[in-house]
Amino acid sequence: MLLTIPALLDAARVQQARAMLEDAPFVDGRLSAGSDARRVKNNEEVRPDDGRVAELNRMILGRLYAHPVFQAAALPRKLSGAFFARYRPGMQYGTHVDDPVMGPEGGRYRTDVSVTVFLNEPDTYDGGELTIETEFGEQQVKLAAGDAVFYPSSSLHRVAEVVRGERLVVVAWAESMVRDPARRRLLYDLYQVTEALRIATPQAEATRRASHVHANLMRMWAEL
């Protein structure tokens, strides 16, 4: 399941994030990659110990975690810290799958859902498309500044070479309460049906039963 969140960040927050990153210390992105990804990764990332990272995490990931679509579809149990990645001309990230487990000793998490938040407009750079291999074929994603996309971390994906301008993004991962992406898809579909019924016929028996089924499937599949 690949979903987008338009305008996760409004224009003011995008501008604030870009201003904070303008003189941030970027280092070789391969330093944060696993052994397989390191061979195909060519970008730059802000040093995780830079003081601006914590403030940007609160501003961006706080909005992501609280967003109703992310809550309903990703069912997050844990959310990683954010990585702030920059791609300049000649940089790309070849086909890879995200590491299944990330984080420091004592703070590890399983990567179930991968997130990208875009920080600059698509017409300011050429190339840099995020391509995700899904059951319905390849999906190319290049969104407006402030928009987010999330998808199963088990998906093969890549970032095309940037040939003009600069691609600036935020990436993060969530460990879900429901690790199976097919089950998450069913729960999200049922959530959408239930919400539509609550609006149209809040007192109907069908509404009550749909909510009951959703709750009991969560009870059956959730891992805490």
- pLDDT tens string 28-59: 988 887 777 789 999 999 998 888 899 999 99
Alpha carbons 187 and 177: distance in angstroms, whole number? 12
The pTM of this model reads 0.94
Lowest mean pLDDT among 32-36, 73-77, 184-188: 32-36
The pLDDT of residue 104 is 86
Question: Which architecture does CATH list for 3-176?
Answer: Sandwich (2.60)
194 torsion bin: left (phi>0), alpha (psi -120 to 50), beta (else):
alpha
The pLDDT of residue 33 is 75
pLDDT tens track for 1-19: 999 999 999 999 999 999 9
Amino acid identity for residue 176 in this structure: S
26-28 and 83-87: which strand pairing? Answer: unpaired
Percent helix, strand, coil in the chain, to 5, is 35, 30, 30
Q: How confident is the model at residue 105 (pLDDT cuts 50, 70, 90)?
A: confident
The more confident residue out of 51 and 203 is: 203
